[in-house]
Amino acid sequence: MNKERLKPEHPMEALLRMDRMPHIWCPTCGIGTAVSCFITALEKIDYPLDKVVVVSGIGCTGRVAGYVKLDSFHTTHGRPIPFATGLKLGNPELKVVVFSGDGDIVAIGGNHFIHAARRNIDITVICVNNFNYAMTGGQVAPTTPLTALATTSPYGCFETPFSIPYLADSCGAVYVARWTALHIRRLTKSMVEALNKPGFSVVEVICPCSTLYARRNKLGTGLDLMKFYHESSVIKHGADTRELDIEFQKPMVVGKFVDRERPTFLESWNAQMKKALGEKFQPYGGSNEHD
Amino acid sequence: MKLWRTPLDIDRLKIPHGELHIIKDRCKGCGFCVEYCPREVLELSDEFNIKGYHPPYVKDEEGCADCRLCEAICPEFAIFVTTKEEVESVES
C-alpha cells in the first residue's frame, strides 16, 4: 500500500474529488470519458478555476457535479439551467457550466433549456445523451430513437425523438456541436470553444449506456456500442441542423453545426437600459467596477 | 515502426517514449484502453483486482509512444502516462 502511494499521481486527480471515487458509472459507460475530456478542456482554457462553476441535475450524468473538485452544485431534477442562470446573473464573472444528461436538460428541464437559449444567457451546456433515463431503470426519454426498446416501450418506441442540436439552434444558441464520447480530441476542442464562447453554447455528447440501452436492445456491451457510434458517425461541420435526426442504429451526423454571434442577455439588458435611462444608468456585469 | 510514407525529416525525428502507470484497483475492466491503443501496448490480464475485474497489463513496454490516448479515454481515471527521457530515432 505504501509503495502505491510513492508512485506519481494521476494528473486529473487535482480536479477530481478522489474521496468520492469509485464513481457510480457502469463499466463501459462513456460518461467518465466525457468527464476526462471536460477536465482536459478546463486545463486548456485560460481562466482561473476558482471562478468556474459546474451545475448538474439528477441522473447518471448529474453525478458529475459531485465528482469534480470545483465549485459545484447538484440541483433538483431538470433545474440546472435556471440555477446556472441565477449564478451567472448574480456574479457575471463566473464561468458557469451545466453538465447534465438528456433526461435532465431536454425532458423535465426542456422549457428552461429553450428559454435560456432564447435569452442567450452566457452559460455552457454539456448534454450527455445516452438515449434513455438510465439511472431510474431505462425508461423512454425524449431522445430515444424510434423503434428502440426501453423499459416503458417493450414493443419499440413510437414517439418522435428530439434532435438536441436542432432544438438548440432553432431556439437561438450561439454554439452547437455534437460528438460521440470517443471523439476525444475533437470533443475536448469543442468544449474549449464552447467555454470560451460568450453566450449560450451547447455540446451534445453521444454516450453508450451499457447496462440498460445496450442490454435491452441486444447491442452487445457498451464497448461495442461506442465502437458502432464512432465508426458509423459522419463528420459534417456546419451541417443543416434540420437533418440531424438520430435513427435507431443508423449513421449519425456529428460535428460543429452552429457558431454565430448574438448579444448575450446581460449585453442586451445593458444596451436597453442605457437607451431608456441614459447617462445615469450604471452597466452591470463584464467589469469589477460595479461593487 | 510502420510508416505510410517516409517523412522528409526522418533523420531528425525522434519517437517519444511513455511509461504507463495502471492503478489496478480503480479499473472496472471496460477494455477501452486495450481496444483503442494505437500501438497495441495493453492487454487485459487474467488476474483479478479488488473489485473482481480484470485490469489491463503492459504487454509491450517499449511500444508506448506517449500519445496519452489511454489517459484521455479511461472512464475510471485509472491509467496515466509519464514521458520517459530517452528517445529513439525512427530509423532504428
Helices (H), chain B: 32-36, 69-73
Which residues neighbour A167 within 8 Å (Cβ) at sequence distance 6 or greater?
A106, A113, A114
**What one-character DSSP code corresponds to residue A63?**
G
Alpha carbon of B37: minimum distance to chain A alpha carbons (Å): 13
- Nearest C-alpha neighbor of A104 from the set A72, A68, A136: A136
Asked if A250 and A233 touch (Cβ cutoff 8 Å), the reply is no
* CB-based contact, B22 to chain A, within 8 Å: no
Residue A4 has a pLDDT of 52
pLDDT tens, residue by residue, A129-154: 999 998 999 899 999 999 999 999 99
Q: Where are the domains of chain B?
A: 17-84
Grid cell at residue A208: 453508450
> Partners of A179 in the beta sheet?
A205
Which residues neighbour B7 within 8 Å (Cβ) at sequence distance 6 or greater?
B13, B90
Span A16-261 CATH architecture: 3-Layer(aba) Sandwich (3.40)
Contacts of A211 in chain B (CB under 8 A): none
Residue A46 has a pLDDT of 86
Identify the closest residue of chain A to B51 by CA–CA distance: A22
* Residue A45: its H or E element: none
Residue A289 has a pLDDT of 41
Is B82 in Cβ contact with A12 (below 8 Å)?
Answer: no
pLDDT tens, residue by residue, B19-73: 888 988 889 988 899 999 988 899 999 999 888 999 999 988 888 888 889 999 9
In this complex, the residue of A10, A31, A40 whose CB is nearest that of residue B75 is A31
Rounded to two decimals, the ipTM of the complex is: 0.84
Which residues neighbour A164 within 8 Å (Cβ) at sequence distance 6 or greater?
A102, A105, A106, A127, A129, A143, A178, A202, A204
Topology adopted by domain B17-84: Alpha-Beta Plaits (3.30.70)
Q: Is B11 exposed, middle or buried (0-12, 13-18, 19+ CB in 10 A)?
A: exposed
Is B51 in Cβ contact with A27 (below 8 Å)?
Answer: no
pLDDT tens, residue by residue, A53-67: 999 999 999 999 999
Q: How far apart are CA B67 and CA A280, in angstroms?
A: 57
pLDDT tens, residue by residue, A194-241: 999 999 999 999 999 988 999 899 888 888 998 899 899 999 999 899
Average pLDDT over residues A141-170: 92
